[in-house]
Amino acid sequence: MEWNKPHMVELPRIYDPRGSLSFAQDNAQIPFEIKRVFWIYDVPGGESRGSHSHKKAHQLIVATGGSFDVTLHDGTKSATFTLNRPFVGLYIPPGHWLTLENFASGSVCMVLDSTLFSEDDYIRDFDEFLEWNRVHDRIPTLP
């Protein structure tokens, strides 16, 4: 698997008549140690989340309930991924601008992160993101 590019990751599923279970473990389904987990919910209709990039953090985003779109930009191109299954996540390496939008009512977005929270890891201005990618010779990774 190419861990330098964003892509969908199918997580293990354990079926049981009482309900199914999925999971992600460090360096098994994802190429990083999980240092932080957070989730986004109760997003009002028409609102978006994200609109930033990370310098160091690797993330796996999963729609544990409902559905939403993740639009990524690599400094050259953009691509939109729809998340709507609790056993499929979107892996995002550092250096990608991300926006979460089109949340269905009741959606829950869970994020597994390789770093503890640090404001220094965030780029919150799109022009600064483009400049950061240029200075760091980032190679476009989106189709």
Sort residue 42 into left (φ over 0), alpha (ψ -120 to 50) or beta. left
The residue annotated as part of the active site, out of 7, 52, 54, 58, is: 52
Active-site residue flag, 52: yes
- Burial of 22-50, coded b for 16+ CB within 10 Å and e otherwise, reads bebeeeebbbbeeeeeeebeebeeeeeeb
- Asked if 140 contacts 76 with a C-beta cutoff of 8 angstroms, the reply is yes
Which parts of 67-107 are beta strand (E)?
Answer: 68-73, 78-83, 88-92, 97-101
C-alpha span between 16 and 85 (Å, rounded) = 17
Catalytic positions are 52
